[in-house]
């Protein structure tokens, strides 16, 4: 009657593994046994001294009941050196339930008990056999690296990556310059349609947002200036404040930052998704130079349109400032223009506009460069786009600082 379960392979002691610290996230646990038929185990201890203890498993041994079964099996203590496991009352058994049962049988074996299975249906035996055949513990977490080592590793990698990126970016700049020279030599090589299209995209379409932001900054500047200068009775100098700050710095810097967020990122995303889709490789095999087809029109478009955008931002900034000066300080437009002529030289305006093409080239080059760095996955497009915007804004501000030093050295 008792079939001794000899098929059952006993593995070496279960590998005990240390876990990497870090609290595991716990879900809602909605698969709880509410809707599930229950599962149970029962230990029938011997009535007489010589009979074998019987472990009865019954009900639905499925994963929804695994928590409860796991807890009860952990508490289980079977006396003696023989045990009968009765599965006759088992209604359902899935791999999780079979695993729990198998694990218990394995434990009995390591406790040197004789185990007999009784009343197991064929399909339940098959399920037990299935989990027994797949008892191969594995590591769950990635190999643990000590924190200090990990920090050092990251710093080191980041440093090397920055160096490499700087080198590659300079090489890229060189390659684009060479391509540009070639196109200057033979202007028919230039993609005029693409150039005009990009100018519309990055220049004309950016007018509303750039204008609005410049206008609002003009308003804010005039208001804040007015509050301070009124105390000194020097209201009229608010015009100087607005004029110099908008024309020299804020107009161009703001425009460059907006354009970096708007167009630099677009360049990366456009070129990046083409790269991910192997379109750039296809282009090369068709004898087209991606620098010439994709990069040059974008760089030129931005270099040509950013000065115009900056000029537009200057005008709107002055307009906003003038309006606020009129409202808050009662400086009429005529007075404003009069004061403006005395306050600013042509140089104040030119210094702002001169910087524009340099910023434009920087933003466009960074955007295109990051786009061409995209590899395969869609994830990489996202990473590169973010990076392009951050790098472009950072580099624009660094370059602006360098310009300040330069202009103050030559004394304008």
Partner 1 sequence: MSVVDSRPQQPIIRVQGLRTVLGGHTIHQDLDLEVRRGEVLGVVGGSGTGKSVLLRTIVGLIRPAGGTVEVFGEDMATLKDGERRACETRWGVLFQDGALFSSLTVAQNVEVPLREHLRLPQRLMDEIAALKISMVGLPASSGAKFPSELSGGMRKRAGLARALALDPEIVFLDEPTAGLDPIGAAAFDELINALQRRLGLTVFMVTHDLDSLDTSCDRIAVLAEKQVLLTGTMHEMLAHDHPWVREYFHGPRARAALAAETAGPEAHA
Report the C-alpha gap between 42 and 169 in whole angstroms. Answer: 71
Q: Which of 406, 384, 403, 375 is nearest to 276 (CA)?
A: 375
Site for partner 1 in 360-389 (CB under 8 A): 379
Residue with smaller CB distance to partner 1, 59 or 272: 59
Residue of 83, 115, 131, 276 interacting with partner 1 (CB under 8 A): 131
- Rounded to a whole number, what is the distance in angstroms from the first to the last CA of the chain? 106
Q: Does 31 interact with partner 1 (rule: CB under 8 A)?
A: yes
279 lies in the binding site for partner 1 (CB under 8 A): no
Q: Which of 40, 54, 72, 95 binds partner 1 (CB under 8 A)?
A: 95
Q: Per rule CB under 8 A, is residue 121 in the interface with partner 1?
A: yes
* Angle at the Cα of 398 from the Cα atoms of 397 and 400, rounded to 5 degrees: 60
Q: Which is nearer to partner 1, 91 or 240 (CB)?
A: 91
Q: Cα separation of 290 and 191, whole Å? A: 11
Binding segment toward partner 1, per CB under 8 A, in 111-119, 124-132, 317-325, 348-356: 124-132
Q: Does 174 bind partner 1 (CB under 8 A)?
A: no
Q: Does 22 bind partner 1 (CB under 8 A)?
A: no
Task: Determine if 142 is a binding residue for partner 1 (CB under 8 A).
Answer: yes
Minimal CA–CA distance to 389: which of 257, 210, 201, 208?
A: 257
Which of residues 56, 106, 113, 124 is near partner 1 by CB under 8 A? 124
Q: Do residues 223 and 327 make contact, with C-beta atoms less than 8 angstroms apart?
A: no
The verdict on 141 binding partner 1 (CB under 8 A) reads yes
| CB closer to partner 1 out of 82 and 109 | 109
Closest CB 77 distance from partner 1, rounded Å: 19
21 binds partner 1 (CB under 8 A): no
Neighbouring C-beta atoms of residue 111, cutoff 10 Å = 11
**Closest approach of Cβ 131 to partner 1, in Å?**
6
249 to 7, 255, 308: CA distances (angstroms)? 83, 10, 15
- Least distance in angstroms from the C-beta of 382 to partner 1: 12
DSSP element (H, E) containing 107 = helix 95-110
Sole binder of partner 1 in the list 3, 32, 157, 164 (CB under 8 A): 32
135 contacts partner 1 (rule: CB under 8 A): yes
Asked if 103 touches partner 1 (CB under 8 A), the answer is yes
According to the binding rule CB under 8 A, does residue 27 interact with partner 1?
yes
Which two structure tokens, joined as six digits, stand for 100? 């729990």
Asked if 138 touches partner 1 (CB under 8 A), the answer is: yes
Q: Which stretch binds partner 1 (CB under 8 A): 60-68, 79-87, 166-174, 360-368?
A: 60-68
Residues 64 to 93 in contact with partner 1, rule: CB under 8 A: 64, 66-67, 70, 91-93
Stretch that binds partner 1, among 104-112, 128-136, 173-181, 299-307 (CB under 8 A): 128-136
Which tokens hold the place of 93?
A: 């058994």
- Indicate which single residue of 6, 19, 148, 231 sits in contact with partner 1 (rule: CB under 8 A): 19
Among 140, 148, 405, 410, binds partner 1 (CB under 8 A): 140
Nearer to partner 1, 126 or 151 (CB): 126
- Alpha-carbon distance of 17 to 15, in angstroms, equals 6
Q: Is 334 in the site for partner 1 (CB under 8 A)?
A: no
CB-nearer residue toward partner 1: 19 or 186: 19
Q: In what order do the strands lie in the sheet with 3-4?
A: 3-4, 114-118, 82-93, 54-61, 39-44
- What Cα–Cα distance (Å) separates residue 44 from each residue in 78, 83, 103, 118, 325? 10, 10, 20, 14, 94
Give the integer Cα–Cα distance in Å for 379 and 357.
32
- What the block records as the tokens of 169 is 């970016």
Per DSSP, what are the bridge partners of residue 93? 61
Q: Which stretch binds partner 1 (CB under 8 A): 38-46, 62-70, 192-200, 272-280?
A: 62-70
Q: Quick one: DSSP state of residue 136? A: -
User: Cα(298)–Cα(360) distance, rounded to whole angstroms?
Assistant: 10
Q: For the chain, give the number of residues.
A: 412
Between strands 82-93 and 114-118, the pairing is parallel
Look up residue 246 and give its DSSP letter: I
Binding positions for partner 1, rule: CB under 8 A: 17, 19, 24-32, 35, 62-64, 66-67, 70, 91-96, 99, 103, 121, 123-124, 126-127, 130-131, 134-143, 379
């Amino acid at each position: 009657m008792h079939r001794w379960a000899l098929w059952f392979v006993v593995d070496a002691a279960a590998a005990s593994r240390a876990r990497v610290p870090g609290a595991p996230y716990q879900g809602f646990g909605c698969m709880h046994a509410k809707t599930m038929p229950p599962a149970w185990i029962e230990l029938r201890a011997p009535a007489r001294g010589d009979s074998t203890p019987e472990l009865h498993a019954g009900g639905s041994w499925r994963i929804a009941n695994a928590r409860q079964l796991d807890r009860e099996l952990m508490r289980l203590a079977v006396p003696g050196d023989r045990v009968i496991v009765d599965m006759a009352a088992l209604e359902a058994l899935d791999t999780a339930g079979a695993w729990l049962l198998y694990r218990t049988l394995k434990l009995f074996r390591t406790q040197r008990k004789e185990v007999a299975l009784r009343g197991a249906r064929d399909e339940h035996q098959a399920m037990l056999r299935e989990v027994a055949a797949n008892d191969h513990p594995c590591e769950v977490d990635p190999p643990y690296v000590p924190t200090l080592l990990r920090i050092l590793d990251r710093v080191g990698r980041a440093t090397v990556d920055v160096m490499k990126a700087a080198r590659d970016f300079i090489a890229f700049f060189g390659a684009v310059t060479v391509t540009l020279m070639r196109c200057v030599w033979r202007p028919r090589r230039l993609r005029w349609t693409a150039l005009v299209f990009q100018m519309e995209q990055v220049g004309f379409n950016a007018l509303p947002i750039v204008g609005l932001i410049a206008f609002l900054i003009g308003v804010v500047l005039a208001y804040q200036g007015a509050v301070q200068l009124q105390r000194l009775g020097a209201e009229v100098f608010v015009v100087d404040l607005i004029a110099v700050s908008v024309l020299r710095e804020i107009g161009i810097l703001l425009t460059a930052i907006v354009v970096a967020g708007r167009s630099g990122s677009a360049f990366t995303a456009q070129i990046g998704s083409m790269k991910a889709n192997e379109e750039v490789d296809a282009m090369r095999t068709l004898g087209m130079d991606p620098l010439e087809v994709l990069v040059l029109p974008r760089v030129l478009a931005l270099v040509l349109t950013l000065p115009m955008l900056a000029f537009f931002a200057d005008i709107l900034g002055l307009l906003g400032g003038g309006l606020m000066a009129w409202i808050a300080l009662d400086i009429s437009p005529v007075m404003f223009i009069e004061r403006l002529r005395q306050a600013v030289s042509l140089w104040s305006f030119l210094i702002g506009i001169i910087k524009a093409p340099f910023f434009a080239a920087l933003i466009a080059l960074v955007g295109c460069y990051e786009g061409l760095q995209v590899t395969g996955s869609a994830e990489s497009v996202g990473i590169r786009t973010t990076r392009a915007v951050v790098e472009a804004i950072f580099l624009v501000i660094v370059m602006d600082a360098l310009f300040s030093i330069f202009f103050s050295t030559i004394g304008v």
